Amino acid sequence: MARARANRDKERELDLTRPVSVWRSKDLLEGQPAQSLTVILRTVGCRWNRCTMCGYAGEGAPASASDLIAQFGSALERSSPEVSVVKIYTSGSFLDPAEMPVQARDEILKRLERLAIKKLVVETRPEYITEQTVETCLSRLPTEFAIGLETANDLIRDKAIRKGFTFQDFAIASEVVHRQGGSIKAYLLLKPPLLSEGQAMRDAISSARAARSYSDILSLNLCNVQRNTVVERMWERGEYRPPWLWSAIEVLKSVPGPIVCDPVGAGTRRGPHNCGACDEGIAEAIRVHDLSQDITPLQKLDCQCKSTWKELMEAEEESFGAALF
Ligand code: SF4
Ligand SMILES: [Zn+2]
pLDDT (tens digit, 9 = 90+) per residue, 17-76?
999 999 999 988 988 889 999 999 999 999 999 999 999 766 788 999 999 999 999 999
With beta carbons less than 8 A apart as the criterion, state whether 148 and 187 touch.
yes
Find the 257 Cα to ligand 2 centroid distance in Å: 26
Q: Which ligand is nearest to the CA of 126?
A: 1
Give nearest CA residue, ligand 1 atom 6.
54
Q: Which ligand is nearest to the CA of 301?
A: 2
Res. 325: pLDDT tops 80: no
With respect to residue 5, please indicate whether it lies within any of the assigned structural domains. no
With beta carbons less than 8 A apart as the criterion, state whether 194 and 241 touch.
no
C-alpha pair distances (Å), 274 with each of 34, 256, 267, 299, 306:
30, 24, 7, 16, 8
What's the farthest any 2 CA atoms get from each other in the chain? 59
Q: How many CA atoms lie within 13 A of 139 on its CB side?
A: 8
Band (pLDDT 50/70/90 cuts) for residue 7 is: low
Give the residue-averaged pLDDT of 104-126. 97
Q: Which of 41, 53, 56 to mutate to test the pocket of ligand 1 (most atoms within 8 A of CB)?
A: 56
Alpha carbon 280 to chain centroid distance? 21
With respect to residue 211, please indicate whether it lies within any of the assigned structural domains. yes
The Cα–Cα gap between 204 and 322 comes to 19
Find the 322 Cα to ligand 1 centroid distance in Å: 30
Ligand 1 atom with minimal separation from the 56 CA: 6
Res. 274: pLDDT tops 80: yes
Task: Characterize 125-138 residue by residue with b for buried, 16 or more Cβ atoms within 10 angstroms of its Cβ, and e for exposed.
Answer: bbebbeeebbebbb
Find the 113 Cα to ligand 2 centroid distance in Å: 46
What phi, psi does 251 have (nearest 5°)?
Answer: -65, -45
The Cα–Cα gap between 259 and 257 comes to 5
- What residues contact 158, with CB distance under 8 A and at least 6 apart? 164, 166
The Cα–Cα gap between 16 and 32 comes to 35
- Domain residues for the domain of 257 are 179-325
9 vs 222: which has the higher pLDDT: 222
Which pLDDT score is estimated for 1? 46
With respect to residue 163, please indicate whether it lies within any of the assigned structural domains. no
Provide the domain count of the chain. Answer: 1
- Of the candidates 78, 79, 91, which has an alpha carbon nearest to the alpha carbon of residue 43? 91
Ligand 1 atom with minimal separation from the 123 CA: 2
Res. 198: pLDDT tops 50: yes
Q: Which ligand is nearest to the CA of 47?
A: 1
Task: Render pLDDT for 171-180 as a digit per residue (tens, 0 to 9).
Answer: 999 999 999 9
Give this prediction's pTM: 0.93
Q: Which residues form ligand 1's pocket by a CB distance below 6 Å?
A: 46, 48-51, 54, 56, 91-92, 125, 148
With respect to residue 251, please indicate whether it lies within any of the assigned structural domains. yes
Bond from prior residue into 258 cis (ω within 30 degrees of 0): yes
Q: Which of 54, 88, 124 to mutate to test the pocket of ligand 1 (most atoms within 8 A of CB)?
A: 54
Q: Which ligand is nearest to the CA of 161?
A: 1
Find the 299 Cα to ligand 1 centroid distance in Å: 33
Q: Which ligand is nearest to the CA of 306?
A: 2
Give nearest CA residue, ligand 1 atom 4.
51
Ligand 1 atom with minimal separation from the 54 CA: 6
Helix (H) or strand (E) holding 97, with range, is none
With respect to residue 112, please indicate whether it lies within any of the assigned structural domains. no
Find the 290 Cα to ligand 1 centroid distance in Å: 24
Band (pLDDT 50/70/90 cuts) for residue 2 is: very low
With respect to residue 293, please indicate whether it lies within any of the assigned structural domains. yes
With respect to residue 21, please indicate whether it lies within any of the assigned structural domains. no
Give nearest CA residue, ligand 1 atom 7.
92
With respect to residue 276, please indicate whether it lies within any of the assigned structural domains. yes
The Cα–Cα gap between 94 and 97 comes to 8
Which pLDDT score is estimated for 32? 87
Give the SS3 label for residue 264. Answer: coil
The Cα–Cα gap between 195 and 153 comes to 12
Task: Render pLDDT for 127-157 as a digit per residue (tens, 0 to 9).
Answer: 999 999 999 999 999 999 999 999 999 999 9
- Strands (DSSP E) contained in 212-255 are 217-222
Give nearest CA residue, ligand 1 atom 5.
49
